[in-house]
Structure 1
Amino acid sequence: MHTKNILTAGKDLKDAKKAMIFLHGRGGTAQDILSLADHLPVEDFALFAPQATGNTWYPYSFLAPPAQNEPGLSSALEILKDLLDEIQLQGIAAENIYFAGFSQGACLTAEFVTRNASRYGGVIIFTGGLIGDRIYENYKGDFAGTPVFIGSGNPDAHVPVERVKETQQIMQEMNARVEVKIYDNRPHTISRDEIELAVKFIFE
């Protein structure tokens, strides 16, 4: 189970009109992923980065049967739901709330927004996809045109391209505008090109 521990930066929530939630990867930290904000046009945003207890959101691969990743997975999703509710209670509408994650955090981002689809400001998935040994029927809501950027490598050590494409298809069926960029033989990292493409697609 995760203890609620959320790093904040940027504007105070009460002064901001927009918010962004960042999710770190396995072994990473909230501080690490929050540094991504330096490369995004989010100067006027309230920024949030939950910290996974033990630096890991769930113990096994995102392709494992979900039951094997409990209770970490459900606990992580619950922390995100609580955070989203808190931001909205402060008067920021879903369409002004953005998400970004890398690796395990990208998988968690994809899973959370697709289980709770709405018109969000935008979603950035740096090397990730929907969680599970197969696609489950856990997804509901309507993205209503939310822009979603997914970047990944082929091959990637953790995220197969097939799952990226399945994720794209499901999100599109739920009315997201999804742009996918696959980089041949790229290491498991976030590239400058990916960031630039995401910024253009999500913020411009």
Structure 2
Amino acid sequence: MQQGTIYQGGNTQNPQKALIMIHGRGGSAQDIMSLSRYLKVDDYLLLGPQAAAHTWYPHSFMAPVADNQPDLDQALALVQEAVAQALAKGIAKDKIYFLGFSQGACLTLEYVARNGASYGGAVAFTGGLIGDQLYTENYRGDFAGTPIFIGTSDPDFHVPVERVQASTKQLTAMGAKVTERIYPDMGHTISQEEIELANELIFS
């Protein structure tokens, strides 16, 4: 399935920072970009990649990676294109931020882990690294203290807490400053506290 386009919003004229916002399964770029009104990102360029048929890959993120190909590679390539658009506007890599929810959070973490660098920060609302196990040979680079926030529910029907914790460990080993929050029985959603923590830890 060929992946889709990238929408732009926010400060498109003279941005110094960019936020790449990645929607979940069944969602859209417009859905996730509307979250920006609750974030301290008024002066950011907003980039919203849109998945074809509203899904980044067909199966669970815990399925064998091969089962989600070629869609996963195409999804990662579209995120890379969004990064390229930010860089083309003269935004430094350490001023590029990422945010995703659910399937989009998984894609967010997978992209940054495969392309570890000093970014502005990343937010994963309910997500973890992708695969039936962690394929650490795919993960390279040095986050150099990049702040990353991961929030999730315990339990969550789609995202096992154990994978969230394993993802935190992997990202921390690569030099990220990870803040992990596990909320009892929160449900598959984004809470007000998570929004506040994202603003405090990532966008402040």
TM bucket normalised to smaller: over 0.9
Q: Residue 163 of structure 1 aligns to which amino acid in structure 2?
A: R
Q: What's 2:158 paired with? A: 158
Q: Distance in 2 between matches of 1:197 and 1:160?
A: 21
Q: What's 1:44 paired with? A: 43
**What are the residue-to-residue correspondences of 1:92-111 with 2, within 5 Å?**
92-111=91-110
Q: Distance in 2 between matches of 1:104 and 1:61?
A: 9
Give % identity: 53
Q: What's 1:198 paired with? A: 198
Alignment of 1:148 with 2:145, yes or no, is no
Q: Distance in 2 between matches of 1:30 and 1:176?
A: 26
Alignment of 1:138 with 2:133, yes or no, is no
Q: TM (normalized to structure 1)?
A: 0.97
Q: Distance in 2 between matches of 1:156 and 1:57?
A: 20
Runs of 4+ in structure 1 off by over 3 angstroms are none
The residue matched to 1:20 in structure 2 has which SS? strand
1:86-122: CA deviation from partner (whole Å, max 9, x where unpaired):
2113211111000000000000000000100111101
Q: What's 2:2 paired with? A: 2
Contact 2:41 2:203 in 1 (8 A): no
Q: Distance in 2 between matches of 1:147 and 1:41?
A: 15
Q: Residue 105 of structure 2 aligns to which amino acid in structure 1?
A: A
Q: TM (normalized to structure 2)?
A: 0.97
**What are the residue-to-residue correspondences of 1:80-91 with 2, within 5 Å?**
80-91=79-90
Once superposed, what is the RMSD of the aligned Cα atoms?
0.9
Q: Residue 92 of structure 1 aligns to which amino acid in structure 2?
A: I
Q: Which runs of 5+ in 2 are unaligned?
A: none
Q: What's 2:183 paired with? A: 183
Q: Distance in 2 between matches of 1:60 and 1:156?
A: 17
**What are the residue-to-residue correspondences of 1:3-22 with 2, within 5 Å?**
3-12=3-12, 14-22=13-21
Q: Distance in 1 between matches of 2:119 and 2:194?
A: 20
Aligned residues: 203
The residue matched to 1:123 in structure 2 has which SS? strand
Q: How far is the alpha carbon of 1:177 from its aligned partner?
A: 0.2
Q: What's 2:22 paired with? A: 23
